[in-house]
Amino acid sequence: MSQNYQHLLDEQVVQAAVEKYGLTRERLFDLGSGNVNIVFEHQVKEQEYILRLTHRSRRALQELIGEVDFVNYLGRNGAPVSCAVPSLDGNLVEELPNGFMAVRFEKAAGRLPTEEDWHADLYYRWGKLTGQMHRLSRSYQAQPVFKRREWHEEEWLNIAKFIPASQTAVLQHAESLLENFERLPIDQAGYGLIHNDLHSRNFLIQDDKLTAFDFDDCCYNWYISDLTNIIYQALTRFSRPPQSDAEEKQFGEHFMRHFLAGYRTESDLAQSWLTTIPQFMKLRRLLLYVFYHQAFDLDNLSDLMANRIAQTRRAIETDAPLTDIRFESL
C-alpha cells in the first residue's frame, strides 16, 4: 500500500523518460513522491503535463495499460478526467530502466479545494462527477489481459501479512468483516471499475467544473465503496474545516444529501446499497490501520500518531460504529 521507490530513481531513469516523450530535462520539475509514485510536471507550449513514474514492484505493465485505457475511455465519453497522452512512439505506457514505467497525463486545470469551497455546491458536483464515472463504467469492457484487479486481490487485503499475530481481536474482526462482503451481489448495476480514491486532493476545481485524476488505485469493486471512501474521508476531517463532535452528524447528513443529489443526476443507486455504507466504512478503517503498519516505524512514532493508531485499534477491536447517520433515509 505504501512503499517509496525514490531510492531506485537515478538520472538514467529520468533521462530515458525525457527521451521517450521528447522533453527538455531542465523544464522537468520534480513534484516529489507520494506513497507509491514519483511525479514530475512540465509544460509544452501552453499545455501543462504530469509525468508519473511507477515501479514494477507496485504495478505490472498490463495494470498500467488497464488504468490509462479506463481513464481515456472516461475522457472520450465526456467525463472530466486527466487523460493519458502517448509518447513519441505512440505508447501510453513506456518502460524505463531500473524497473520503472512512465505515463504522461494532461494536467488537470484548476486548483485544489480550500476550506471556502466546502459547501453544498461542491458536494453536489462531487457527487455528479462520481455518478458520471459510475454510469460510464457500467458500459466499459476491458481487454482481459489489461484488466485491473478485483478489490480483494490487492496486497493490503492480506491482513495477516501486515498485522502481528498477537493482535488476535483485530485479525478476528477482519476475518468476520471480510466474510460479510462475500454475501453482497456482484452484478452490472452495483459492481464495476471504480476510481477508489476520489478524495478532495484527487480533483481540481476550475469555475464550476471538477476534474478527476490519480486513478492509480482503480479496481473492480462495488460502486457504493467509492461513495463510502468519500464520506469516510469527509467525516474524518480530510481537507475540510474542523467540526466539533456535536456538529459531525449534521455535517455528514448535509454532505451526503447534496452529494447524492448530484450523484443521482448521472447514475441510479438502489436505496438498499445505502444501508451497506457502515459496513464499507469499517473496512476502510481496517485498511487504514493496515496502512499504518506498512507506512510507519511503529517503534518511533510521534505521540499524536501513536494515539491515533491506538484509537483506531480500539475502535476495530470493539467494532465501534464510525457514525450514527442513517444513510438509507437520505
Are 209 and 74 in a shared domain?
no
In this structure, is residue 121 part of a structural domain?
Answer: yes
pLDDT at position 10 over 90: no
Residue with cell 518511533: 300
- Give the mean model confidence (pLDDT) for residues 60-82: 98
- Give the mean model confidence (pLDDT) for residues 166-176: 97
**pLDDT tens sequence across 265-279:** 999 999 999 999 999
Are 179 and 80 in a shared domain?
no
Are 159 and 252 in a shared domain?
yes
Q: Which of 51, 82, 106 is the last residue of a domain?
A: 106
Q: Which of 83, 106, 129 is the last residue of a domain?
A: 106
Are 200 and 141 in a shared domain?
yes
Cα dist. 182→138, 151, 170, 178 in Å? Answer: 21, 12, 19, 7
Of the listed ranges 11-15, 29-33, 47-51, 139-143, the one predicted with least confidence: 29-33
Instruction: Answer yes or no: are the C-beta atoms of 177 and 286 closer than 8 Å.
Output: yes
Residue 42 DSSP one-character state: E
In this structure, is residue 286 part of a structural domain?
Answer: yes
Please count the structural domains in the chain: 2
2 pLDDT band, cuts 50/70/90, is: very low
In this structure, is residue 19 part of a structural domain?
Answer: yes
Amino acid at 165: A
Are 47 and 98 in a shared domain?
yes
Are 182 and 207 in a shared domain?
yes
Question: What torsion, rounded to 10 degrees, do the Cα atoms 196, 239, 41, 210 define?
Answer: 70
- Give the mean model confidence (pLDDT) for residues 97-123: 96
Structure-model confidence comparison of residues 7 and 153, the more confident one: 153
For residue 292, the model assigns a pLDDT of 94
Instruction: Answer yes or no: are the C-beta atoms of 206 and 109 closer than 8 Å.
Output: yes
In this structure, is residue 99 part of a structural domain?
Answer: yes
Q: Please, which residues have CB within 8 angstroms of residue 56's CB and are 6 or more apart in sequence? A: 99, 100, 101
pLDDT at position 176 over 50: yes
Are 157 and 23 in a shared domain?
no
Instruction: Answer yes or no: are the C-beta atoms of 263 and 130 closer than 8 Å.
Output: yes
Tell me the C-alpha distance between 200 and 256, whole Å: 15
Grid cell listed for 206: 476550475
CATH number of the domain that 73 lies in?
3.30.200.20
By C-alpha distance, which of 301, 291, 228 is closest to 263?
228
Instruction: Answer yes or no: are the C-beta atoms of 81 and 210 closer than 8 Å.
Output: no
8 pLDDT band, cuts 50/70/90, is: confident
Grid cell listed for 219: 479496481
pLDDT at position 284 over 60: yes
240 pLDDT band, cuts 50/70/90, is: low
Tell me the C-alpha distance between 304 and 99, whole Å: 36
By C-alpha distance, which of 238, 252, 260 is closest to 323?
252
Mean confidence (pLDDT) of the chain:
93
Are 151 and 24 in a shared domain?
no
pLDDT at position 41 over 80: yes
Are 256 and 218 in a shared domain?
yes
Q: How many CB atoms lie within 10 A of CB 279?
A: 14
For residue 242, the model assigns a pLDDT of 60
Structure-model confidence comparison of residues 10 and 65, the more confident one: 65
Of the listed ranges 30-34, 92-96, 99-103, 218-222, the one predicted with least confidence: 30-34
pLDDT at position 238 over 60: no
- Give the mean model confidence (pLDDT) for residues 6-12: 81
Structure-model confidence comparison of residues 239 and 315, the more confident one: 315
Amino acid at 283: L
37 sits in the region (left: phi over 0; alpha: psi -120 to 50; else beta) called beta
Quick one: what percent of the chain has pLDDT higher than 90? 84
In this structure, is residue 240 part of a structural domain?
Answer: yes
Are 36 and 174 in a shared domain?
no
**pLDDT tens sequence across 77-89:** 999 999 999 999 9
- Give the mean model confidence (pLDDT) for residues 164-192: 97
Q: Which of 87, 106, 125 is the last residue of a domain?
A: 106
pLDDT at position 54 over 50: yes
295 pLDDT band, cuts 50/70/90, is: confident
Domain containing 150: what range? 115-329
Grid cell listed for 123: 458536494
Q: How many CB atoms lie within 10 A of CB 44?
A: 13
Are 182 and 37 in a shared domain?
no
Tell me the C-alpha distance between 163 and 186, whole Å: 29
For residue 33, the model assigns a pLDDT of 61
Structure-model confidence comparison of residues 31 and 121, the more confident one: 121
Residue with cell 455535517: 251
Phi, psi of 111 (to 5 degrees): -140, 165
Residue 228 exposed, middle or buried by CB count within 10 Å (0-12, 13-18, 19+): buried
Quick one: what percent of the chain has pLDDT higher than 70? 94
Residue with cell 504495478: 59
In this structure, is residue 91 part of a structural domain?
Answer: yes
In this structure, is residue 1 part of a structural domain?
Answer: no
Are 70 and 144 in a shared domain?
no
Collapsed DSSP state (helix, strand, coil) of residue 302: coil
CATH number of the domain that 166 lies in?
3.90.1200.10
- Strand-pair partners of 242: none
Phi, psi of 209 (to 5 degrees): -115, 135
32 pLDDT band, cuts 50/70/90, is: confident
For residue 254, the model assigns a pLDDT of 95
Instruction: Answer yes or no: are the C-beta atoms of 110 and 209 closer than 8 Å.
Output: yes
In this structure, is residue 52 part of a structural domain?
Answer: yes
